[in-house]
Amino acid sequence: MLSNSMFIASSVFSPPPSTLFGSHKICSSFKTISKQSHVFLHRNPFFLHHLNLGSKRALSSVCFSNAGDKESGLEWPILRRWEVPWEWQTVSLTSLACGLGFVLTGLTEAIALPYLGIKLDVLSLDDKAEILLLDQGITTAVILGIIYSVANTFQPLPEDLFKYDLREPFNLQKGWLFWAGVGLVSAIIAIALTGVAVSFFSGETPQRETDALVRLLPLIGSSNLSTVCLVGITGVLAPLLEETVFRGFFMTSLTKWVPTPVAVVISASVFALAHLTPGEFPQLFVLGTALGFSYAQTHNLLTPITIHAFWNSGVILFLTFLQLQGYDIRELLQAT
């Protein structure tokens, strides 16, 4: 683990790009200089006697540093690891705290509602949608509060940890919006193929009665307010919470001990298991993998958040459209 002073020293003493590229010229011109100096030294043996070997090391180090920079430049951006300042104990305890925070928040809300005079069985669909939005907002605030409280004890953090950067959205190497588009298209294709493969090998359609989406069906298309609340839950709060937890904290922490692709796969597995829908594990795993690799490419949490937001809200809006057109979306979901 590098200390803050080492980071500062690295940034201060690192040569500018012009020096690195110019070292090619220095190395090539050194051959010409050495030939001329060789003739000069044979004509002037006095200088040969007083020549310091340290200068040779200094000149040769120029060529050596250029070779090292050239090798490091060949590394794919998607394979880069994060500089993680905490150890496995922090990862374990923070993950446990997030899980307990999620459960305790739900229990507290369930206990508090009757004391507030709120009876869920007599509420309208709009009221239920508003309560769900409030519930998701509280849960998001609690879990993110836990993570950022822990991370704050390790300040200053490396700049690519918990990074939300709106700049250069279409940069081909690290543009968050560009790679969100690539990741979203890849996820749609991969999930469609996964669904076909699962149906082919299983021979039967998995039951989805416990799916969170099925439980939201009564609210879909019931009113404009319910639609807005559902989009706020699934398209804003849930992506912000889940990507910060599973990609921003868990996946990046794993890269301290395992290569980035392995961290992507592990975090995608935990992401799929956390949804508690065994029948949807393959599709959720594929989605988590696409989210992980997209984040690894940019090191910007806006990338997986955008993919997740478009995926969730797109599903809600599409089902709302079908509901308004008179389709039985429960039957359609069961068929898919």
pTM of the full predicted structure?
0.76
Write the single-letter amino acid at 31: K
Please report, in angstroms and rounded to a whole number, the separation of the first and last CA atoms in the chain: 48
Cβ–Cβ under 8 Å, residues 77 and 297: yes
The residue count of the chain comes to: 336
Nearest Cα residue to 11 out of 165, 156, 168, 164: 156
Residue 309 exposed, middle or buried by CB count within 10 Å (0-12, 13-18, 19+) = buried
Indicate the domain borders of the chain.
Answer: 4-74, 88-335
- Spatial separation of the C-alpha atoms in residues 239 and 146, rounded to whole Å: 17
Q: Kindly give the confidence (pLDDT) of every residue in the chain, 336 residues in length, as a single tens digit, with 9 standing for 90 and above.
A: 434 443 333 333 344 443 333 444 434 443 444 445 444 444 554 444 444 434 433 333 333 333 333 334 446 888 999 999 999 999 999 999 999 999 999 999 999 999 988 888 889 999 999 999 999 999 999 999 999 999 999 999 999 999 999 999 999 999 999 999 999 999 999 999 998 998 888 766 555 544 667 778 888 888 999 999 999 999 999 999 999 999 999 999 999 999 999 999 999 999 999 998 888 899 999 999 999 999 999 999 999 999 999 999 999 999 888 888 888 777 777 666
